[in-house]
Structures are given as structure tokens and as C-alpha cells.
Amino acid sequence: MSKWNTYKNEIKNRIENKENHKKSALEQRSTEFINEIKEEEKLMGVCYDLLADENELSGEERNNLNSMLESEVKSLKNTSVNLRKSYRLVESMADELETRTREVEKSLKRHILPAPPSNTVIDYEEEKLNNFAQGLNFYKLFLICFTGSFAGVIVEILWCLIRNGYIESRSGLVYGPFNLLYGFGAVVMTLALYKYRNRSSSISFVGGMITGSIVEYLCSWGQEMILGSRSWDYSDMPFNLNGRICLMYSVFWGILGVLWIKNVYPRMAKVILRIPNKAGKILTWILVAFMAVNVTVSGFAVVRWAERVNGTEASGAFEEFIDERFPDERMERIYPNMDF
């Protein structure tokens, strides 16, 4: 019998025997350990009395007592370290078990709008089907990047429409509504939060807030260092850092982190599960080629736009081709907030 089957049988026994639901063996042992600590505390009380009584022990006995107590101090400190590790482990186990149970039950209930599948179910299905995008491999991360690049632009366009009353491009590439900032952010968010996908939403919020703010700051700094431009500036917002990030959008990143890992990611993973392995790999590489061309052409187009703004004429047939295909008017429509 395999170790896995042994564990499954143990769980089945616990399910059938309702008495075991009241207190686990781990809880019982923890109670016994607390009692052992109390007994050790009583023993230490006797040692304290011996230390205080100058006439109780001879010189050699007192030296032996001091040596014993030094060893006891080391042992207690090591025990303290082990208990802290145990506390963190048990706390995380309790949080994960509670979260997994709640989310699986929620996904099984009927709702007016379909509930997202739980990450527990996604993990199980990926392993059972040996899916081409199982876990966090290249295929899944690229598909996340591609989808995030598209979805982020659409969301920001709608936000601009709601807030300002007009539609304005938020694309980062010249072909299609794609912005690698969002795609990169989705990948980093996934990498940062995937380990905690089955933990409580508060952990995802804090992780999303920190991760999103770091990504946004680095992207702003990198764009300014490489291209000499900035696509956003929060200098007028309260609690901003060098105009690159601010508290309000950091909170938005936290909310986005929860929505992403608890709602969007499992839905996306469920869709990917429906793609046959061979077709999924071929599709992914086609999209990789498309995005590689898109990024390359976009880079050349932005560089030539900046050069034209500074009065630099095209120096060859290729630059003339770029100028013809991507004139200032077209670039201004794609990047309405670009400053040089």
C-alpha cells in the first residue's frame, strides 16, 4: 500500500468516526506538551531556591548546578525557536484548511453568476490531466502575460470612459490593445501570490499591494531611464513616491491582487484546462512570435517618434519605412499621454 493510500485511508477513518472530529491527535499532543512545560517550570522553581540559598550546596555542587542551568537555558531557547516555527506552521495550516474548505464549498453552490472555481480544484484537475500549463510553467505564465496585457488595457479604457467621459488609448504596443505593463504585472502578481492562492484574502491583499507598487515604480523608472519618457505621473496625488506610485493606486493593487488570485486566475486556469495539450503548446508559440514582433516594431516606432520630435531625420530606408507606417498622428493616438 502506497503512502498516499495510507493517508487517504486515515482521512476516511476520521470521516467515519465522528468522535475524532472533536479533537485531533495533534491537538491532544499539544495539550500534553503544555503540561510537560508546566512540570519543567516547577522543577526550575526548585533550582531558583537552590540558587538563592547560599548554605544548601557546596562549592562543587553549585558549579554543577550552574553548568546544568546553562545547558537548560540553551535547551529552552532551542525549544522556543522550534515552538515559534511550529506556531507559524500550524497557523498557516489552519488558515489554508479554512480557506480551501470555504472556497470549495462556495464554488459548488449555485449562484446567479457562476462562482470562480477554487484553486484547490484547479490544482487537482491540472495534476490529474497532466495539463501542458500545469503549475507555473512557461506556457501558463506567457498566457497570463498575454491575457493580462489585453485585459488591463480594456479595463483602463473603461475606467477612463467612466471617469472622464471619453475613450482614450491605453495601449503600450502598436498592434492591438496590449500593454506589457499589465501583462508583466499579472505575471509578477501570479508569481508572488501563487504560493498563497489557498490562503486567506488578507494575505493576497497585502501581497498584491506590495508587489503591484514595486512593479509600477520599476516600470516608470525603467521607461524614463531607457526612453526618457513617463506615461504617468502621480505627483499631484497624496502620499506619492517620486510621482511613480501613490497610496490610492497601491490600495487598488491590493484589491486587484485579491481579485486576481481568487477570481481571475482560477477562471483563466479553468479555460486553459479545456485546451488540448498539443494545441495549447502550438497556440502559445504562435502568440509568442506575434508579441515578439509587436514589441520589436513598437520599440523602433517609439524611438523614431522621439527622434522626430527632436528634429532628427530618418537615416535609412528602414527608418523611412517606420516614419511612413507610424507617423506622429498615429503615435499620438496610440500613446496620448507620452511625454518626451
Task: State pLDDT tens for residues 218-275.
Answer: 888 888 888 777 778 888 888 888 888 999 989 998 998 999 999 999 999 999 999 9
Cβ–Cβ < 8 Å for 301, 192: no
Q: 241 pairs with which residues across the strands?
A: 245
What ranges do the domains of the chain cover?
A: 22-115, 123-276
Model confidence at 3, pLDDT cuts 50, 70, 90, reads low
The three-state secondary structure class of 339 is strand
With beta carbons less than 8 A apart as the criterion, state whether 243 and 234 touch. yes
Pick the more confident residue, 212 or 85. Answer: 85
Does residue 20 register a pLDDT over 60?
no
Q: Which helix (H) or strand (E) holds 79?
A: helix 59-108
Looking at every residue in the chain, the average pLDDT score rounds to 88
**Under a CB-based contact definition with an 8 Å cutoff, are residues 179 and 173 in contact?**
yes
Provide the residue count of the chain.
Answer: 340
Which grid cell is 106?
462556495
Judged by average pLDDT, the poorest of 57-71, 126-140, 291-305 is 57-71
Please tell me whether residue 78 adopts helix, strand or coil conformation. Answer: helix
The reported pTM is: 0.73
What is d(CA 17, CA 23) in angstroms, rounded to the nearest whole number?
12
Report the SS3 class of residue 245: strand
276-293 average pLDDT score: 96
Phi, psi of 68 (to 5 degrees): -65, -40
Residue with cell 493606486: 249
Nearest by Cα to 183 from 154, 221, 160, 224: 154
- Is pLDDT larger for residue 141 or for residue 232? 141
Beta bridge partners of 245: 241
